[in-house]
């Protein structure tokens, strides 16, 4: 048995490896977030054990989209969930069971090391998102850069050009660095401030940085044959932020928690709509506009 502790977005969680097949080598992207052992204020504990077998199978209720991969979701009578994780090739590589409060989970892995890595990382990401929803914390699908000690998050559906736009900031705006390219953590702190954190989940870009910054603004991207920017209304902002969050709409506590967190974020942050081309002028326009507000 081996236990590892990680701190992401200000929250600490514990992984326990209970068999000889699986180790923390499956979680190389989590290494920058590893911390000393502690049992205080754990967000959740996850046990990894290929010998574990669930006592029963829940009722299928739908699918969960995690990074573009659709995972089968089952619910048990006690409110706990089972999620069957599939990799991009469609192979079943992980069975996750989490209790109703998302503070304890079991994981059973399957397949090659790459399949196990994919399955375990996706299981961690989902449990973190579900547990975070009860702690004013969200995982959000975004690419985030930092400039002048503030984090700026680019939002949009896959293929919109989030990474392209943040890449333009990195290239043309001096002093900019990439914090995360796919799934940063956004948290409303106890004093009401909103911070963005790097995470072990960064999509196709290996950017696993244990770093954080206050949120400067959110930037909703829309492809266009011109460059134009404006601040979004309250309704537009909510409609932009919520679909970017990892959320189980069928779980009332999870969904309500995410909605409440988004509302709190809106009270302390600005959101802009950028209709743009993939060029330097677009990034200069977004930076100069956001900085001036």
The band of 248, judged by pLDDT with boundaries at 50, 70 and 90, is confident
For the stretch 210-226, pLDDT in tens is: 999 999 999 999 999 99
Q: In the prediction, which pLDDT does 192 show? A: 87
Residues 6+ apart with CB under 8 A from 64: 70, 71, 73, 83, 126, 248
The pLDDT of residue 250 is: 85
Q: What is the rounded distance in angstroms from the CA atom of residue 254 to the CA atom of residue 181?
A: 24
pLDDT mean over 43-65: 91
Per-residue exposure over 194-226, b if at least 16 CB sit within 10 Å of its own CB, e if not:
bbbbbbbbbbeeebbbbebbebbbbbbbeeeee
Q: How far is CA 243 from CA 37, 66, 138, 212, in A?
A: 35, 12, 12, 23
Give the chain's domains with CATH numbers.
2-132 (no CATH), 138-292 (3.90.228.20)
Strands 150-155 and 212-223: parallel
Residue 11: name the closest of 176, 128, 96, 181 by CA.
128
Contacts of 251 (CB under 8 A, 6+ apart): 81, 130
pLDDT, tens digit, 9 for 90 and up, residues 4-16: 999 999 999 999 9
Mean pLDDT for all residues in the chain: 94
* pTM for the full predicted model: 0.95
pLDDT in the model for residue 80: 95
Residues in the chain: 293
Q: What is the mean pLDDT of residues 200-206?
A: 94
Residue 8 has a CB neighbour count (10 Å cut-off) of 25
């Amino acid at each position: 048995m081996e236990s590892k502790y990680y701190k992401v977005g200000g929250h600490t969680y514990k992984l326990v490896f209970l068999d000889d097949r699986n180790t923390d080598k499956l979680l190389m992207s989590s290494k920058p977030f590893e911390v000393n052992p502690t049992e205080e204020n754990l967000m959740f504990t996850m046990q990894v054990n290929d010998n574990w077998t669930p006592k029963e199978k829940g009722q299928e209720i739908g699918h969960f989209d995690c990074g573009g991969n659709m995972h089968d979701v089952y619910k048990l009578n006690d409110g706990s969930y089972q999620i069957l994780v599939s990799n991009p090739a469609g192979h079943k590589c992980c069975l996750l069971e989490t209790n109703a409060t998302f503070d304890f989970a079991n994981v059973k892995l399957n397949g090659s090391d790459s399949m196990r890595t994919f399955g375990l990382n996706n299981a961690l990401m989902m449990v973190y998102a579900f547990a975070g929803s009860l702690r004013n914390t969200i995982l959000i699908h975004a690419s985030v850069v930092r400039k002048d000690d503030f984090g700026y998050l680019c939002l949009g559906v896959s293929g919109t050009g989030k990474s392209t736009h943040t890449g333009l900031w990195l290239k043309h705006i001096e002093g900019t660095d990439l914090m995360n390219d796919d799934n940063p953590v956004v948290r409303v702190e106890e004093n009401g401030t909103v911070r963005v954190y790097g995470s072990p989940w960064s999509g196709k870009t290996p950017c696993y940085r244990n770093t954080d910054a206050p949120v400067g603004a959110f930037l909703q991207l829309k492809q266009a044959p011109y460059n134009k920017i404006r601040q979004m209304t309250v309704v537009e902002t909510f409609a932009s932020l919520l679909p970017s969050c990892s959320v189980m709409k069928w779980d009332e506590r999870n969904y309500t928690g995410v909605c409440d967190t988004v509302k709190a974020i809106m009270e302390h942050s600005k959101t802009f709509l950028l209709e743009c081309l993939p060029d330097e002028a677009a990034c200069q326009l977004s930076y100069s506009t956001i900085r001036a507000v």
